[in-house]
Structure 1
Amino acid sequence: MYPKKVANDTAKVLQSYLTYQAVRTIIEQLSETNPSLALWLSEYSSRNRVQDGEAYLQGLMQENKELMLRVLTVRAHLAESILELLPSMVMAQIEQSNTDHRRQLLERLTRTAEPTSPSPSSTSGEDSAPPESERRDVPD
């Protein structure tokens, strides 16, 4: 395992996710103050993938520099707001999730199969012989 690479990849994903959240926040704000610009940003975002936040911002810079700067500001504010809480929240959620999955696995592994008793129809078939107590010795 390469912890630095995992951390770097995680940081990139988080950065892109914060870009996405900043865009959503700005669209909500603009829908109240400037609905036409909110619609434009919403349509722009549907045409351009926010999953790669940096590429999205490069494209937005070509289209609307003011909105790009606003996204940068909101994204930085979101990062400041959550990054302090994030490590402990992620660890707590992972521990809880792992505990739940282990419990479910243990329950599944330790679940005993209920003994199956023969159903009445399976004992009255033509091929089955009657029980010893029901047999009668009939002379041939």
Structure 2
Amino acid sequence: MDRKQVAKATTKVISSYLTYQAVQTVLAQLMETNPTLARWLHSFSSRSIVQDGEVYLLALLAEHQELAFRIMTVREHLVEEIMDDLPEMVSHDIKHKNTQHRKQQLEKLTQLSVSDPTSSHLESSSE
């Protein structure tokens, strides 16, 4: 496992997700202040690749620089708001979910071996 490569890929995913959240925020703002521009941005976003935030922003810069700058500003603000809490939250969430998955799997395994009547019947007939 190349830790640096994993960190880079994770950063790209988080950056793209924050771009998506910034677009959603700007869309909500525009729906109240400029519905026509909101519809344009919604249409643009539906035909552009939002999964890759950087590709999306480059395409938006080519078509509507002001909106692209606004989305970049909101994205930057979002990352500043969440960055302090993010590492601890991600770590806690993964540990919690792993524990839940293990617990559910253990419950499945113990229910199967306790409630499987064919296995106890086979054991008693082989004695």
TM-score for the superposition, normalised by structure 1: 0.80
Residues in 1 aligned to 2:49 and 2:117: alpha-carbon distance in whole angstroms: 55
Cα drift, residue 28 of structure 1:
0.1
> Which residue of structure 1 aligns with residue 30 of structure 2?
30
Letter in 1 for 2:21: Q
Cα drift, residue 57 of structure 1:
0.6
Q: Structure 1, unaligned stretches of length 5 or more?
A: 117-140
Residues in 2 aligned to 1:41 and 1:103: alpha-carbon distance in whole angstroms: 45
Task: Please give the per-residue CA displacement for 1:19-51, whole angstroms capped at 9, x wherever unaligned.
Answer: 000000000000000000000000000010110
Cα drift, residue 114 of structure 1:
4.6
Cα drift, residue 115 of structure 1:
3.3
Cα drift, residue 88 of structure 1:
0.7
Equivalent pairs: percent with the same residue?
A: 55
> Which residue of structure 1 aligns with residue 101 of structure 2?
101
> Which residue of structure 1 aligns with residue 87 of structure 2?
87
The structure showing larger relative contact order (alpha-carbon pairs under 8 Å, at least 6 residues apart) is: 2
Task: Please give the per-residue CA displacement for 1:32-86, whole angstroms capped at 9, x wherever unaligned.
Answer: 0000000000000001011011111111011011001101100000000011111
Task: Please give the per-residue CA displacement for 1:80-116, whole angstroms capped at 9, x wherever unaligned.
Answer: 0011111111111111100110001111122212536
Q: Structure 2, unaligned stretches of length 5 or more?
A: 119-127
> Which residue of structure 2 aligns with residue 115 of structure 1?
117
> Which residue of structure 1 aligns with residue 69 of structure 2?
69
Q: Size of the alignment, in residue pairs?
A: 117
> Which residue of structure 1 aligns with residue 78 of structure 2?
78
